[in-house]
Amino acid sequence: MKVIIVGGVAGGATAAARIRRLDEQAEITVYERSGHVSYANCGLPYYVGGVIEDPEELTLQTPESFYSRFRIDMKVLHEVVSIDPGQKTVRVRDLKNGEEFDDGYDKLLLSPGARPVTAGIPGSDLDRVFTLRTVEDTFRIDEYIKDNRPKSAVIAGGGFIGLELAENLRELGMEVSIAQRPAQLMNPFDMDMASFLHAEVRRHGIDLVLGNNLAEVRENGGQMEVVLEDGTVLKTDMAVLAIGVAPDTALAESAGLELGIKGSIVVNDRMETSVKDIYAVGDAVQVKNFVTDEYALVSLAGPANKQGRIAADNICGRSSVYTGAQGSSVIKVFDLTAAATGLSEAAARRVGLDVDKVILSPMSHAGYYPGGSLMMLKVVFEKETYRLIGAQAVGRAGVDKRIDVIATALRAGMKATELKDLDLAYAPPYSSAKDPVNMAGFMIENISEGLLKQWYLEDVKRLPRDGSVTLLDARTPEEFAFAHIDGFRNIPVDELRDRLEEIPEGKPVYVLCESGVRSYIACRILTGHGYDAYNFAGGFRLYDTVVNERCLLETAEACGRNWRI
């Protein structure tokens, strides 16, 4: 069997190695148009920042090591320019000398990846404008920085690559700005959770210019200028376009393969395309979203590697299927870690799901053990059914662990209420006896049993201040004096039973505290005395961060008394 693989990075390299492990006799050739194979895209920003010092660490394998171990012919700097499905041949161009030749296959696997979105942006071809997708891109940026010592950079786009690169350039001492059309960084997160990332990024001196699309990049008297649609001009020494990626499917389109959303390659759950004996994997294919069962694009290394393995199994006559992607991801943002799985609340509502959420801010490990830190955890679930939809977390420690647990529960089809039943490892340096994931489950169970009724951040402005409801802050007088929401009265939770006469009967009571714990206790006290009480999801800690972030997008004056950085 002769197998040709187009693309030798995540999915392609994984498939090649798997095919060899399954079939020692197969003839396997991989054509990769860049000069490197099996490299770690996710590590590229950290080489620019000097965190990864050895360029050889960026590549997990070389053509030579692949051949030595697997007898796979890895041909770098070779581009497949066309496919003839009828003749089962590919046309290959040797990029070193420009010569072209044909090669035949029994099975063909396409793993072309995605390309940076730069089309239509005037000035994107200037010498000091970069993208970051390949090892060559990384070396180009690194060489420019070492040779020219730029003092400033503008990064267009605040996704994974843009945010990681911004951090690394800032750590090099550069003045860094992130500009993008969306009003928040990191699309997998809801705005409330992204606000913590905004605060962290600004705390480290990065300027955020959000809600403003890139119009052009230009040279002006030796100075580079990034021009935004509203006319804002950002002067800089270099610019990186990290606006996003699009499936690189021109080759598939010219071969007559069926294309799907955003020009991606249509595949079935065996990673087979619409043309017999041609498979496709990775960033170029559309896959099923595990939560919604709708088609989606998921440009992440984990799914690409899994798909490569599945395609290899089927090429070799086995039977493997891809059950869908849920978009589990994690990112380091200076001192914070942010992770997510499944759908955000906003994404769930966009596809028509009727969802609810719990937001809590537990410690990363037992509070009495030194070194613990707070995290913010948000779990989204479907009303009525309590089906897990997704989760997000931000904090300084323990974040990835909690999201991985919830990702596993989601994959296993567990209900959100069943998070309380998970038997998770506990020791004071690592967790609490009631792990944050368990705590989320307890809260959701309380909702299902009518013990917890919530009100939310989006309700703050809608709550009447005319006396028809009672607005209660259950924190200490010191916390209340430092900052509070207008219209709320302060009765600390430990004084509540003795001051119930101050709370009018027959009116709903909306309660908050710093994290949601004391206010929940206050709600139970009030409920026990006949009041209709609602607890604020996320607590004042969430409100304060989000409101201050929104004010940063507007004006300081708009924040009034609660403005502070």
C-alpha distances out from residue 148 to 143, 144, 151, 204, 554, Å? 8, 6, 9, 24, 36
Q: Which residue has the tokens 């020494």?
A: 237
Helices H / strands E in the chain, number of each: 14, 31
321-348 burial code (b ≥16 CB/10 A, e <16)? ebebbbbbbebebbebbbbbbbbbbebb
Is 42 marked active-site? yes
Contacts of residue 365, defined as CB under 8 A and 6 or more positions apart, other chains included, come to: 371, 372, 397, 398, 428, 429, 430, 431, 432
Cα–Cα distance for residue pair 411/143, rounded to 1 Å? 43
Cα–Cα distance for residue pair 291/296, rounded to 1 Å? 11
Amino acid making up residue 60: L
Among the listed residues 428, 359, 351, 358, the one whose alpha carbon sits nearest the alpha carbon of residue 386 = 358
Q: What are phi and psi of 89, to 5 degrees?
A: -130, 160
Residue of 42, 316, 523, 559 with catalytic role: 42
Query: If residue 376 lies in a helix (H) or strand (E), which one and from where to where?
Result: strand 375-382
Neighbouring CB atoms inside 10 A of 439's CB total: 19
Cα–Cα distance for residue pair 151/209, rounded to 1 Å? 18
Residue 35, CA atoms < 13 Å, CB-side half-sphere = 8
Contacts of residue 367, defined as CB under 8 A and 6 or more positions apart, other chains included, come to: 432
The DSSP code for 537 is: T
Neighbouring CB atoms inside 10 A of 48's CB total: 24
Cα–Cα distance for residue pair 294/351, rounded to 1 Å? 9
Amino acid making up residue 441: G
Tell me which residues are annotated as active site: 42
